[in-house]
Every structure is written in structure tokens, then in C-alpha cells.
Chain A
Amino acid sequence: MNIIAVVLISFGLFFFFVGTIGVIRFPDALTRAHGAAKCDTLGAVLSLLGLIVLKGFSPSSIKLLMVIIFLWIANPTATHMIARAILASSGRENKTLGESKDANKTELTIEEAGEVK
């Protein structure tokens, strides 16, 4: 049991580490948000799972499960809000979104993302 817990927590810490390196190395604000969002979610979840394994079944493990669920919901939402704020303050004009010609077909229109100051 201890070995499983140690493996889980070390993987969680590894992902935290990678996320931190990503935040430092990525070139602009929007790409930094990528690293922060994904790595924080999995890192925190793996660490908490390791703690649950270490503790065994108890009321505190139920609490940790609830923490995992709330984190899973809150983290992408927070990232989305941050990204939206970055986009709004970056000075790129929000071009009016074109209407799709066919409602059932997904179409992709690609525009270059300029450097975010």
C-alpha cells in the first residue's frame, strides 16, 4: 500500500514540476495557461489519490474525494476565465464571429494568433 501511495504522489509531483517548467518556458501568456491548467489538474488529483491510498477508507478520504471532484470542475473554469481576460486585454480586436453556413457541420476558420504583450 505504501509503495502504491509513493508512486502516485511522485507522479503527481512530477506533473507539478513539468507544469512549472512549462509556465516558465512557454513564450506568451495564453500558452502558459495551457501548462498551468492541465498539469495542475492531474498533479493535484494524483497526489490526493496517493493520500487516500495511504489513509485507507475513512471520513477524511471521502473529504479528499470531494476535493478532487471540486478541483476537476473549478480548474478548467478558472483557466478559461484567465484566458478570456488575457484575450480581452491583449488589444487584438475581437472580430465578429461569422455564421456557419450549415448548422450541422462543424467548420474551422483559422486566424493567426499574434504575440500577446
Chain B
Amino acid sequence: MTSKIIKILSLTVFFVILSEKISLLNIISAVTIAYIVFKINTTNTNIKKYFSFHLILKWIFFTGVLFKEVVVANFQVAKIALSPSMDIKPIILDYHSKIKDEFLLTILSNAITLTPGTMTVDIHDNLLKIHCLNETYANSLKDIYMEKILFDIEGELNV
């Protein structure tokens, strides 16, 4: 019961932030729309356990590492796209991840897409098909730092 009320309240606050004005009519419509959205939403994935309080430092750390990787990836793409001779030999390889959890696997595959020179193409259970621009990037996949962080998070989920 309390979780329902918290969900509806957070949706209401979201609507009020988006509409930027606080009046009686606005709040009534916000609550109505929040309730309708809550009723329509039938997904059973419980995201709350992934963002519990003792994991928050790890998530912040993960975001920092991801941002650094995205900046590096952009400079790599810039270097390749602006170089007169493109030295790319695209390969597709299979990568077995240690992570079993679906939500964390989704995050990992998105992170791999944003890291330099690699892109997740397909995913079955914990087997990712990754498209790489050339072999140096493929070798850098062997020790992804972000996967270690996510693996730690998965280990601490049920503590």
C-alpha cells in the first residue's frame, strides 16, 4: 500500500516539475494523470532493489567511469573519421559475461555500446554478440572495468 502511494506521489511531483506551476487545478490533474499512468503500468520488474542505499556509491562510481569512457570513445571516433586512411577491419565476436541478472546485463550492453570501438549487436541470456571496429578494441574487451563494478553490484544484491 505504501509503495503504491509513493509511486503515485513521485509521478505527481514529476508532472508538477514539468508543468512549472502550482495551482489547485494543476495538482488535481497531476494526481489524476499519475493514477492513470500507475494503473496502465503493469510491468513487474522491481527496480528498487538495484538502487538500494548501500549500492549508491558504486552507482556513482559507475557513472563516472562510463562518462570517461564515452569521452574517450568520441575522440576515437573523431580520430578514425577524420584520418585520411581508415584502418578498420570490422569483426563480430561472442562475449560470455559473468553477469546473470537481466537488468544489469541490459546496462552492461548499453555501456559496451558507448565504449570505444565496440557495439552490442545481439544478446542471448549472458552471451553478447559484439561488433568491433578492429582487433585492438576486441582485445580491450577482455578486461572491461565496468563489468567488474556491475559484478560487484550483483554480488551485493541479496546481502
Partners in one complex: yes
Q: A113 touches which one: B77, B91, B96, B111 (CB < 8 A)?
A: B91
Task: Answer whether A111 and B91 are a contact pair too, CB < 8 Å, given A41-B70, A42-B74.
Answer: yes
Across the interface, B74 reaches (CB within 8 A) one of A39, A97, A108, A112, namely: A39
Q: Are B141 and A108 in contact (CB under 8 A)?
A: yes
Which residues in window 52-89 of A have CB below 8 A to B? Answer: 59-60, 62-63, 73, 76-77, 79-80, 83-84, 87
Measured CB to CB, the nearest residue on chain B to A80 is B120
B1-9, B40-48, B50-58, B78-86 - interface stretch: B78-86
Any B CB within 8 A of the CB of A93: no
* Separation of A110 and B142 alpha carbons in the complex (Å): 13
When the two chains form the complex, which single residue of B77, B91, B98, B122 contacts A112, counting CB atoms closer than 8 Å?
B91
Do B88 and A35 touch across chains, with their CB atoms under 8 A apart? no
Q: Assuming the A-B contacts A31-B90, A107-B96, A110-B93, are A87 and B121 also in contact, with contact meaning beta carbons closer than 8 angstroms in the complex?
A: yes
A39 / chain B contacts, CB cutoff of 8 Å = 74, 77-78
- Interface size bucket, A side? 35 or more
Cβ B113 vs Cβ A76 within 8 A: yes
A35 near B90: Cβ-Cβ < 8 Å: no
What residues of chain B lie closer than 8 Å to A80, measured between beta carbons? 109-110, 113, 119-121
Chain B residues contacting A97 (CB-CB under 8 Å) are: 94, 124, 127, 129
Q: Which residue of chain A has the shortest Cβ distance to B16 in the bound complex?
A: A59
Let me know if B94 and A25 touch, CB within 8 A: no
Chain A, Cβ-Cβ closest to B88: A31
Give the distance in Å from the alpha carbon of A44 to the alpha carbon of B95 in the complex.
30
> In the complex, which residues of chain A have a beta carbon less than 8 angstroms from the beta carbon of B142?
106, 108
Take A41-B70, A111-B91, A113-B131 as given contacts and tell me if A34 and B77 are in contact as well, using a CB distance cutoff of 8 Å: yes
Known contacts A25-B86, A79-B113; can you find 20 more A-B pairs with CB under 8 A?
A: A22-B81, A26-B88, A30-B119, A31-B90, A31-B133, A38-B74, A39-B74, A39-B77, A63-B18, A79-B119, A80-B109, A80-B113, A83-B119, A83-B131, A97-B129, A103-B96, A106-B98, A108-B141, A110-B91, A110-B135
Interface residues, chain B, CB within 8 Å of chain A?
Answer: 17-18, 20, 70-71, 73-74, 77-78, 80-82, 86, 88, 90-98, 109-111, 113-114, 117, 119-122, 124, 127, 129, 131, 133, 135, 138, 141-142
Chain A residues packing against B (C-beta within 8 Å): 15, 18-19, 21-22, 25-28, 30-31, 33-35, 37-39, 41-42, 59-60, 62-63, 73, 76-77, 79-80, 83-84, 87, 94, 97-98, 100, 103-113
